[in-house]
Structure 1
Amino acid sequence: MPAEDNFTVTPYAVEGDIDYDRLLDKFGADALTTEQKAKFPDPGHPLVRRNVFYAERDVDPFLDAASDDKLHSIVTGRGPSGPMHIGHIFPFYFAKYLQDRTGTLVYIPFSDDEKYFLKDKSLGEISDYTRENLLDLLAVGFDPERTRIIVDTADADVMYPLATAFAKEVTQATVDATYGDPENIGLSFYPAVQATHLLFPQLVEGRHPTLVPIAVDQDPHVRVCRDIAAKERYDVAKPGALLSKFLPSLEGPGKMSSSDDAPSILLSDDRETVFDKIRTHAYSGGQTGLEEHREQGGNPEVDVSYQFLYYFFEESDEQVERLAREYREGSLLSGELKEMAAENIANFLEAHQERRRALGSLEDELEQFRLTESERQDARRRAGYPDSSLVQQ
């Protein structure tokens, strides 16, 4: 009999020492191939080159459309249950990289309703986090002509009619088997809302390849949506997925979280705070003593400072390879590695924070990213709502 997994990965819980290859078997996804990585636009993104995005579902139609200058889109969302940290933001900068190089349409849904169902927080708290998170997303610098930001409760006139149509395609048995026993009926219904998120670009623009770059724990949402997309009554393609590993927490292997006691580096942290968190909390792969480290070297595979640089915060492949080599040899010390990681992260955050400070009011900035009335009408019509007069009252 195969050994029992000693980890849990679901949209609502990530625990244990994750075997990413084993997850591919469990979820039925495929490893991202060398040939597929080469099809991403130059210069290839570190998240792809370094196998952080390591698995996929139907990524080829998206890459082919991007290469041929044909219509293609990305959906990457945010659940506003707290302040954003560095683990939350890198998928959005990845989406901007694709938009800048291939004109990708980017759709960003905010699942404020799901977070209210899931978290012990008031509607007011979720609303406050939504506003703060929106400002961080706007600071990324997306092209408003090719980006739409949707907030479930604020755009309920279009999101919930579509979710109602898709909800009829999903049985409670499917929800239970995919997510476990939901805590409330809101979470039972939410997979239909998530399917609306993932199919929304096609409902607005017509059938085309869509890619969902997400952490691997969110893959169940894609699987349920792909089953809905397969129904002949909807003229949509199954959305593809690009699945990533987790950015580790400061305390070591595992998913970085802003909702538990583990420290995390927030997008609002200043330089001093970043250095303090890295120096104090970043798990080291080095030896306990200087002489021992010089003799035996360190392990970059578990060193959090190195992993931060490897995942996102060091552009040069030659540099990360050199750091890994010198760390293993013992010529690079854990403290030196921490200082490099803190410096790069602080520089990144300062640039992000400067762009955020330069924004105008949220209402004015967000307006240019909102759905137009014609886009709302097109989405409702393609999902089977030819007459929207009732929802407009």
Structure 2
Amino acid sequence: MPNTTDSTDRTDRTTTDADEFTVTPYAVEGEIDYEKLLERFGADPLTDEQIDRLPDHPAIRRRTFYAGRDVDRSLEAAESGDPHAVVTGRGPSGPMHLGHVLPLYLAKRFQRETGATVYVPLSDDEKFLAKELSFAEIGEHTRENLRDVLAVGLDPDRTRIVVDTADADVVYPIAVRLAKHLTPATVEAVYGEQDTVGLQFYPAVQATHLLLPQLVAGRQPTLVPIAVDQDPHVRVCRDVAAKEALPVEKPGALLGRFLPSLEGPGKMSSSGEAASIELTDDPETVAETIRTHAYTGGRATLEEHRERGGDPSVDVPFQYLRFFFEEDDGELERIAREYRSGDLLSGELKDLAIERITDFLADHQRRRAALGSLADALEPYRLTREERTAALESAAVPTSFRG
């Protein structure tokens, strides 16, 4: 059984006594020590056995996703053919880039290999509260992001996409019930002081997202693959689930490292201030972005590089291959070996990354272009009337709250 105690009554928004780095859902600063984060968050490193039992994906094999909670519960359900779910999501505050889509393609791999049901909530309400954007701007980003989510190619029979404002008839009543178990002190301890009461309430909405698969379809293990800065959402939800008498298990988590920004190690920025590769970029834009902005581990001169070799551990094009774009471990090691020896030049490594990324985006964009009407494409992924009723009944929402 999963643990029954997850304390969130501590200050989680500072990371070390020396304030060496900060990791929260709203701010990531400094050089991240991933092992210290595990101590702070109370999560466990993935074991070799768990890696072998999880879906075969480079982000898991190479420990981009390196830690978790209650992972074994989902593994056991998958191996026995029992119901289980994966929840991932998107905050539509701008165009989607490569860092945003990795968890969605990982969820697709889970769905294909384990039969998981996948839930994808879009938190348009949170982004309106947290960003200096109008309702109209958030709405346009939501529509464009939905096209990219649909282009991933998830199975509509095993996928539900939920948009907070569009599905408020389900999300809001459940969030109200869960909010009764969240104190302002807990929210501030985990997230820091919030600018609005809307953001203070939002953790209850996030908890609703993570519990929704079970409220719709019954008690089952739920795994949430997320970058480590989003882990507070899972911890708060686990705490609320332990307090609220609902027919659910506490959700588990897979915690991932950040895809490096083009400028070097660290989290990819979604602010629009840092260069990034968007999912709608054409090949020429991708090539220009990589060649102009991608930090390399090569040497200052050709002669020095041939003599001393490059450092793939800090080279962003190599890290993109490692995170996602080179499935074959042997091929990845060959690339690293030739780069370290100086046989492979930084420009050649950039060209290889450009080729792999543009091939990936071509497939994604082809599926995106084939969607046609967004409303028609989205309809098979929406909660049915029966599923909405089941969720509200599972949460014991009074009839007067229902639409």
Normalising by structure 1, report the TM-score. Answer: 0.97
Measured in 1, the distance between the counterparts of 2:192 and 2:66 equals 26
Secondary structure, in 3 states, of the residue corresponding to 1:14? strand
2:59 equivalent to 1:47: yes
**Matched position secondary structure for 2:74:** helix
Cα deviation code 1:174-194 (max 9, x no counterpart)? 000000000100000000000
Tell me the equivalent position of 1:35.
49
Shift in Å at residue 7 of structure 1?
Answer: 1.3
Identity %: 64
1:102 offset after TM fit, Å?
Answer: 1.6
User: Which amino acid is 1:244 matched to?
Assistant: G
Separation of aligned partners in 1, 2:235 and 2:226? 13
2:290 aligned partner, one-letter code:
I
Give the letter aligned to residue 9 of structure 1.
Answer: V
User: Which residue of 157, 165, 177 corresponds with 1:165?
Assistant: 177
- 1:30 maps to amino acid: D
Q: Does 1:209 align with 2:221?
A: yes
**Alpha-carbon separation, structure 2, partners of 1:173 and 1:304:** 40
The reply to whether residue 266 of structure 1 matches residue 278 of structure 2 is yes
> CA offsets, 1:288-333, max 9 Å, x none?
0011111111111100000000000111111111111111111111
Structure 1 residue corresponding to 2:143, chosen from 131, 153, 167: 131
Residue 371 (structure 2) pairs with residue 359 (structure 1):
yes
Inter-partner Cα distance in structure 1 for 2:80 and 2:96: 35
- Runs (4 or more) in structure 1 with deviation over 6 Å come to none
Partner of 2:196: 184
- What SS does structure 2 have at the residue aligned with 1:253? coil
CA deviation string 1:233-269 (max 9, x = no partner): 1121010000000001111011111314210000010
Amino acid at match of 1:391: R
Cα deviation, residue 3, structure 1:
6.3
For the 8 Å contact 2:160–2:383, the answer to whether it is kept is yes
The answer to whether structure 1 residue 241 and structure 2 residue 272 are counterparts is no
Change (3 A) 1:190 1:283: same
- In the alignment, structure 1 residue 18 sits paired with structure 2 residue 32: yes
2:260 and 2:268 in contact (8 A); partners too:
yes
**Alignment pair present for 1:311 and 2:323:** yes
Q: After the TM superposition, which residues 256-295 of structure 1 pair with which residues of structure 2 at under 5 Å, given as runs?
A: 256-295=268-307
Separation in structure 2 between the aligned mates of residue 183 and residue 5 of structure 1, nearest angstrom: 22
Partner of 1:369: 381
Shift of 1:95: 0.5
Matches within 5 A, 1:377-392: 377-387=389-399, 390-392=401-403
Alpha carbons 2:176, 2:204 under 8 Å: kept: yes
The equivalent residue for 2:76 is 64
AA aligned to 2:44 is D
TM norm structure 2 = 0.95
Q: Which runs of 5+ in 1 are unaligned?
A: none
Distance, in Å, in 1 between the alignment partners of 2:19 and 2:78 is 38
Give the CA RMSD over aligned residues: 1.1
- Look up the equivalent residue of 2:129 and give its one-letter code: F
Which residue in 1 is equivalent to 2:240?
228
